[in-house]
Structure 1
Amino acid sequence: MIFPFQLSDEPIMTSVADILKSKPQAVVHTTTPSTTVFDAVKLMAEKGIGALLVTEGEQLVGIVTERDYARKVALMSRSSRETPVRDIMTADVMFVRPDQTSSECMALMTENRLRHLPVMADGKLLGLISIGDLVKDIISEQRFIIEQLEHYITGERA
């Protein structure tokens, strides 16, 4: 019998491009540095998201998250209606390329305690992946491997 997939020390990994294609909505929500924190948090609440990329024109200049709000506005007794996003955003944004693997992204997110990673190619923003996207991908890969092993054990063809 031919084994349906090759076993190796390296797990099967999806590329960031594949993860972006599998997302039901490819919309990346953005804001500007001059937007008030109140308006940015309001947009996050309306869209059910935890982060906004901060752009000036086509240029990515930062990321603002619910964590930024909690730590840099609420706990510092700032006014969200008066504070601009530029005052609380993270300007040095880590990003990934579309050819990188879910495993590389997971390692980067875990090591740097990130929940969101912009996807960039040639200086252009292509999308945004979250820790939830990666977990969903890993679960899907594990489900596939389990099904293949069950077919192998029972002698059924997939």
Structure 2
Amino acid sequence: MTSEPQALPLHATLYEAARVMRDKGIGDVLVTDGERLCGMVTDRDIVVRAVAERRNTVFTSLAEVCTAELAVLGPDDDTDTAVRLMREHAVRRLPVVDGRHRPIGIVTVGDLMLAGLDGPGPLSEISKAPPGL
């Protein structure tokens, strides 16, 4: 798990999210309402849901394009749960939230591969699946 994931509030703009992604070398930003996780926006979301639709990234809020229906993990969930959720939801990233639904981390397919779960099987299936997030 990557701890301390990058997060921005719902009212932040796509431009702000893109700058965070560039500056941190990441492909996603969690979206929060107060301290609670309420969505995620990825570099792909910015391209497909905003740039391709000719939205102005300086004025378009994360609330307008983020994915709000997220599969999430709890801090005590194991890697099998992460793999299962990634497969079921065809996603490559899973936010980790605490009991109050505050983001505390993010697990990616890359994290699972680094944990020694690579090779043929579920992770290769997830990697081949069309992107969901």
Q: TM-score, normalised by structure 1?
A: 0.67
The structural deviation recorded for 1:139 is 4.8
By percentage of residues, which structure has more strand? 2
Match of 1:88 in 2: 65
The count of corresponding residues between Structure 1 and Structure 2 is 117
Larger Rg: 1
Superimposed CA distance per residue, residues 66-89 of structure 1 (whole angstroms, 9 cap, x where no aligned partner)? 121121012212111121111000
Uncovered stretches (5+) of structure 2, i.e. residues with no partner:
119-133
Within 1, Cα distance between the matches of 2:29 and 2:99? Answer: 21
Moved more, 110-119 or 39-48: 110-119
Aligned residue for 2:5, secondary structure, equals coil
Identity of aligned residues (%): 30
1:116 pairs with 2:112: no
Match of 2:124 in 1: none
The structural deviation recorded for 1:125 is 2.6
Aligned residue for 2:19, secondary structure, equals helix
CA RMSD of superposed structures (Å): 1.7
Q: Which amino acid is 1:85 matched to?
A: L
Within 1, Cα distance between the matches of 2:95 and 2:60? Answer: 24
Uncovered stretches (5+) of structure 1, i.e. residues with no partner:
1-19, 141-158
1:42 pairs with 2:19: yes
Q: TM-score, normalised by structure 2?
A: 0.79
Within 2, Cα distance between the matches of 1:41 and 1:110? Answer: 27
Q: Which amino acid is 1:132 matched to?
A: G
Match of 2:111 in 1: 133
